[in-house]
Structures are given as C-alpha cells and as structure tokens.
Amino acid sequence: MKRTKKNNSESEHDLEHKYWSRRSFIRALGIVGSGSMILGNKLLAASMPNPLTSAISGVENDNILILIRLSGGNDGLNTIVPLNQHSAYANARPNIYIPENKVIKLTEDYGVPDYMGSLESMWGDGQFKAVHAVGMDGQSLSHFTGSEVWSNADITTTSFEGEKTGWMGRYFEDKYPNYLLDPPKSPAAIQVGNFGDILFNGEEVNYAFTTSNVNQLEKIATSGLQYQVDDSLFDACTYDSQLKFLRGVVNTTYQYSGVINEAYKKGKNQVEYDENDFSKQLAIIARLIKGGLKSKVYMITLNGFDTHASQLITHRKLMTTLTNAVGYFFDDLKFTGHDKLVLGMTYSEFGRRIFENGSKGTDHGKAAPMLLFGGGLNGSGLVGTHPNLKDSNDRGNLEYTTDFRDVYATILTQWMCVPIPMVEEFLLGHKYNPVDLGITCNSENNENIDPIVPSGSKRVVHELYYKDEYRPFISIEMPNNAHVKVDLFNLAGQNKVTVFNEFVFEKKFEINVLQRMNKKIASGIYIYIIQIEGKEFSKRILIK
C-alpha cells in the first residue's frame, strides 16, 4: 500500500475504502497470512490457527537455528584476521588494520581482534566455527539486491524483480503444506525487525511472526498482548467480508502472542546480558527457547556495518556487541542443555574491499566470512579456503571460495534434517555441495540426508491460476496413481463445496473450479484443500 497524503475532505474510513479495492486486497493476501501489514497505522504480525487448528506432526528434530544478519556489509578481514598475510593486510589498510599484538590467535594463521574476546572461550569449548570467503557469482555490491539474494538464494536477481519467495519460506511451505487451515501451535519462525525482508516468504504467506523491534517483542513476551483493533473501522464497508477477514487475522495474533508469553514466563535468564537492543533480543530468545517455545528459526539483526568511514571505532563496537551477546546467550542456554540444540549463524549482504578508502573506512566488497556458534558444532575450526590478498581483482575485492548456498544446504540437511532433493529444490536447483561444518541433525532418519544415496519421493505439485482474472483453475501434477479430493472451505473453516473427487492416474491435469463445483457458493475468498493419500495441501482462492 502506498502512502498518500490525506486531504481534509477524506476521512480515515473513506481512505480505507479507496485503498482496499478488491484487486489490491487480493495482492495483499500474499503477506496477510503470517507476515506484516499496516492497519490503522499499526505494524502487525499476523499468523495463527483458526478454530480448525489441530496439532501437526512433530518437527524432524529439536534443533533450532538463529539467523543473525549483520546489516550493511561486514568487513571480513577485521573479523577473521589473516595472520599468515599480515604484512599485505596491514599495508592495504594502514589506519584500520588490527596489529598482531591485538589479535587472539585461533590458529597459527588466523585470529580474531582482542575485543572479540568472548569467542576465545567458545573456540576452546568447541562452539565456534568460521567459513572463509563466502559469496556468490555476480555480486552486485548493492545493499538492496544483495540482501534480497541472501534471502531468496536467487543469484540471477539483478533488481527487485527476482524470486519473491525466500529459502526459509520454501522450507516452511513444504513443512506445513496445509498451513492455511492447520498451522503449527507455535510460530514457525520469529523475526525481529526487517519487515521488508523476503526470507520467510512462501507463495501464499510469510511464515514468520514478525515484530517491528525488540521492544515490541518484549511487550508481547511479558504481557501476551499486542494491539487493540477498533471495530468501528469495519462498519458499513463495501468489502465487509474482506475487512472482516483482516480483522480475524489480526485478532488471531493474540493467540500466538499468548503462546510466546507462556514460554517467556516458563523460561528464565540465568546470566546477565549487556544493556543494548541486540543483547536484549538474544536474552528474550533464550527465555523463549528454555520456556519450551517450538519455533524452529529466529532471525535478528545488528545494524551499522556499512563502514565507509571511521571503521576502526564503529566495527570494534559492533563486533564487541555481537560476540559478547552471543557468548552470554550460549552460556545462558548451557544451564538447561539447550546450547547443543541451537545453532547461530551470521550473514551479511556482502563484504568489504581489501584496501581502506580516504575516509579510514572500506567500500563495498565481495567475499566475507560467515560465523557459526553453538554446542552442536562438534568442535571449533576454520572452514574453506581464505583467498590470497595479492590475488584481488582490479577493484580490490576478495573473490569468494565458498558459495553461500552451500552453507545453506549444509544447514538444511545436516542441522534441520531435510532430504537432499528437497534442499536442492529450496535452493532453486543449486546442486548439493556440503560444507564441513561438523553438525548433525540428530534424526532417527539419517538415511534421509545421506549425501551419497539421497532419498525422497516425487512430490505433489499444485498451482492456482486464473483465466481472464475471474475463472480459477487448479493444476495438479500427480507423482503416482491416487484418489484426489478437492474441497473449498470458507475463512471460518467450514467446508462449503466439493470441487473434485476422483481417482487419477499419474499425470498432470487441471481442474476448472467453477465448472466442477457441485453447487454455487457466494463470491469471496476461500481456501481449497487437496487431499491425496492422507496428505493435505492448501492455498487461497478467489471465487467471483
């Protein structure tokens, strides 16, 4: 929704009608299911079961992933200092290099600045790894495009016209195929800030419970409440059913807020964290995890890494904040043994160049390390190959030696127990090439992730499309012979009509929804459910 200046003759209610045309409403449905939206000038995160919700099957394991975005482009050379190339490193950045006597040695060849000292004990405890020189082909060095590529794993993206689903969104879409009527009891993911990020976007919904900042998350965690909704907004509206749907979506947020509140009350912080917003995010997450919240993925952000000027001071402060908070977080989790079930991973939209600029900073570059933390790493280490500083390109960029999608693939298979064929699908066809992170998914079904003998059967693929924008068709690709039933449910979860109920041979076929309905129903938004061999798949559909 674009912001528009409000003239004196238009009331807020009039503007609500103007903005929410039927077409714009349908476009908005892609984020309403679970993502963020603006209603009455309030940022809301909406995601929760309706009355039909029942318990879904358990997660593949109890492992949890913490995604830590270092927003702005982190400087890798001042994060993992190349002691074996220190002369070339110091000559390239005479004002901002880290002297050898200020480096904590991890190995004879590499170390971290002494202000990242909390990593020294994590290294000794086998809880810290770094992957050298992570990047991608065709790095644009744009904050916007770079951020989008790291979220959607689509290296063909050159602008905001790239893939609009995220790699985690595709993972959750497969994990919860009937999410619209049967989502999990806990939020699938929790995201703090970064409302525009597409990381958790699926085709239909955003799978993250999103708060605008850590203070809003704290309010929800401590009180179980989020926002009040003014009923008068919905009086006498032309598109009353659509707006009532929005109200229902917003109101169900309270239920996830209640789940978060219950976990927060059960959990307890057992270490003292620093007084800053980033530490507060990890402190709250620690309590939620220890309190039994079943969310699989958390995403948090540390801003400020676009260090074009005065980098030495800025980067020191940022990395001190990061590493202190991570150290406290995993110390906190050790009290309950959760440190072995939680993996933290940093990423940034790009790295910085080798040479400092005239403002005692560094400009946008290519490769940078990814840092991983947690007791599930089975030992500390440095992974991959660090590039030679003398082999930079003509713009002073380090070339990457590890594709970022290989790190993602390793996390998905070896931490989250996703079968390799599915991982390749989530990463848009990228061939599986694992990185030696020393992690395991702790699953009883380890054959599902065997890199030599990948398993997994063909999937049911379904797609909704419209002819002339009014006539809906459902395309279904059958992997085998089976009975297929398709029903339409209203937004209250009531089965309104059967569209298809036949045995189908292995093939791809389409269903003309309006033509196949056994009775007429009112115009509006519905949810179709495909039932095949005991499995259900769902998506929103517009009937006119």
400-427 pLDDT, tens digit per residue, is 999 999 999 999 999 999 989 889 999 9
Please state at what angle helix 22-32 crosses helix 240-266, rounded to 10 degrees: 20
Q: What is the mean pLDDT of residues 239-257?
A: 53
33 has a pLDDT exceeding 80: no
100-121 pLDDT per residue, tens: 999 999 999 999 999 999 999 9
Residue written as token pair 């020393």? 438
C-alpha 363 chain-centroid distance: 27
Query: Residue 14 has what pLDDT?
Result: 43
Q: What percent of the chain has pLDDT over 70?
A: 79
> What CA–CA distance (Å, rounded) separates 371 from 170?
24
> What CA–CA distance (Å, rounded) separates 377 from 487?
46
450 has a pLDDT exceeding 50: no
- Say whether 182 sits in a helix, a strand or coil: coil
pLDDT higher at 203 or 1: 203
CA distances to 2, 116, 251, 398 from 276, in Å: 33, 17, 31, 33
Phi and psi angles of residue 37, each rounded to the nearest 5 degrees, phi first: -155, 170
pLDDT averaged over every residue in the chain: 82
Max CA pair span of the chain = 79
52 has a pLDDT exceeding 70: no
The secondary structure of 363-411 as a DSSP string is: -EES-EEEEEESGGGSS-EEES-PPPGGG--TT-PPPPSEEHHHHHHHH
Q: What percent of the chain has pLDDT over 90?
A: 57
Phi and psi angles of residue 415, each rounded to the nearest 5 degrees, phi first: -115, -35
Query: Residue 253 has what pLDDT?
Result: 53
Averaging pLDDT over each range in 18-27, 147-156, 391-400, 458-467, which range is the top one?
Answer: 147-156
Q: Which of 299, 345, 351, 379 is nearest to 134 (CA)?
A: 351
- Taking a C-beta distance cutoff of 8 angstroms, is the pair 414, 449 a contact? yes
- Reading the block at residue 129, the tokens are 């790894």
Query: Residue 234 has what pLDDT?
Result: 43
Q: Which of 386, 431, 381 is nearest to 406 (CA)?
A: 431
Query: Residue 47 has what pLDDT?
Result: 39
- Reading the block at residue 201, the tokens are 């976007």
Q: What is the mean pLDDT of residues 521-539?
A: 86
pLDDT higher at 449 or 219: 219
> What CA–CA distance (Å, rounded) separates 312 from 293?
39
Q: What is the mean pLDDT of residues 303-313?
A: 97
> What CA–CA distance (Å, rounded) separates 88 from 133?
17
Instruction: Kindly report whether the global pTM for this prediction surpasses the value 0.85.
Output: no
DSSP character at residue 379 = S
Query: Residue 60 has what pLDDT?
Result: 57
- Taking a C-beta distance cutoff of 8 angstroms, is the pair 377, 439 a contact? yes
In single-letter form, the type of residue at position 431 comes to: K
Query: Residue 388 has what pLDDT?
Result: 93
In single-letter form, the type of residue at position 467 comes to: K
Residue written as token pair 């509140």? 261
> What CA–CA distance (Å, rounded) separates 156 from 296?
28
- 494 CB-near residues (< 8 Å, 6+ apart): none
204-214 pLDDT per residue, tens: 888 999 888 99
227 has a pLDDT exceeding 60: no
Phi and psi angles of residue 451, each rounded to the nearest 5 degrees, phi first: -70, -15
Q: What is the mean pLDDT of residues 295-309?
A: 97
